[in-house]
Each structure stands twice: as C-alpha cells, then as structure tokens.
C-alpha cells in the first residue's frame, strides 16, 4: 500500500520554465489537495479537488493550475515559474472529512 506518492522529489527550474508535479494515491480517496510549505508560513492551500473532474482554488492559487482527470491522480502545473514559487510542495488526500494523508513532498527551486 503506497499511500500518496509524489514525483519528482526534487527539481530545479529556471525562471519562465514550466513543469508538472504529479500526485498519485491508491486509497480511493475523493478529496485531493496541493499545499506549499514555506519557512514560518506553515501550510498554504493552493488548489484542491472534491472528485474526479473537479477542481477549486485554495488560499494561494495564482501562478498554478491543476487537473484531476483520474480519481487517483492530481496534477499541479506551473506554466511560467517564478523565484517566488521556490518552496516545498505537498500533496494530500482524504476520504470525506477523515484526516489527510500526505505525500513526502517535492522540493522545487526556481532560479
């Protein structure tokens, strides 16, 4: 049972480049979330999804897009990376209000 898997684990981008972060869960969870974690800021919600084919904006959605084409996958895209998007990104999933299960994070550096 893998739980929540994030790929890649690390990435370095140049300003203006694009990339997609992949999150996969094998627990048949309806809800999936993308957070970013910055020093002293805690976790901030970027986007979330309440089911296949649906997405919604969180607290800090600007500069990011998401897609949930399959229930088990939630993709986070950066179309034109900026240094302010240097962060650690966490994906999580949950079943109808139960506690969240987190992946191990993707550390992204934008130079």
Partner 1 sequence: GEDVEQSLFLSVREGDSSVINCTYTDSSSTYLYWYKQEPGAGLQLLTYIFSNMDMKQDQRLTVLLNKKDKHLSLRIADTQTGDSAIYFCAETLGGSYIPTFGRGTSLIVHP
Binding residues (CB under 8 A) for partner 1: these are 4, 31, 33, 40-43, 45, 48, 50, 58, 90, 92, 94, 96-97, 99-105
Q: Please, what is the minimum distance in Å from the beta carbon of residue 83 to partner 1?
A: 22
Structure tokens at 81: 């990376």
The nearer residue to partner 1, 78 or 89, going by C-beta atoms, is 89
The nearer residue to partner 1, 63 or 105, going by C-beta atoms, is 105
Structure tokens at 28: 């048949």
Residue 13: what are its φ and ψ, rounded to 5°?
Answer: -120, 155
Determine the Cα–Cα distance for residues 12 and 9; give it in Å rounded to an integer. Answer: 11
Q: Please, what is the minimum distance in Å from the beta carbon of residue 96 to partner 1?
A: 7
Q: Please, what is the minimum distance in Å from the beta carbon of residue 29 to partner 1?
A: 10
Using alpha carbons only, what angle is made at residue 50 by residues 35 and 103, rounded to the nearest 5 degrees? Answer: 35
């Amino acid at each position: 049972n893998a739980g929540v898997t994030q790929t890649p684990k690390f990435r370095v981008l140049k300003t203006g480049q694009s990339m997609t972060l992949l999150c996969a869960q094998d627990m048949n969870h309806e809800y999936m979330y993308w957070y970013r974690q910055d020093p002293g800021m805690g976790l901030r919600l970027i986007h979330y999804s309440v089911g296949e084919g649906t997405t919604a904006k969180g607290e800090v959605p600007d500069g990011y897009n998401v897609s949930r084409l399959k229930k088990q996958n939630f993709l986070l895209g950066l179309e034109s990376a900026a240094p302010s998007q240097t962060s650690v990104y966490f994906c999580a999933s949950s079943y109808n209000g139960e506690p969240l299960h987190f992946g191990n994070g993707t550390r992204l550096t934008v130079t």
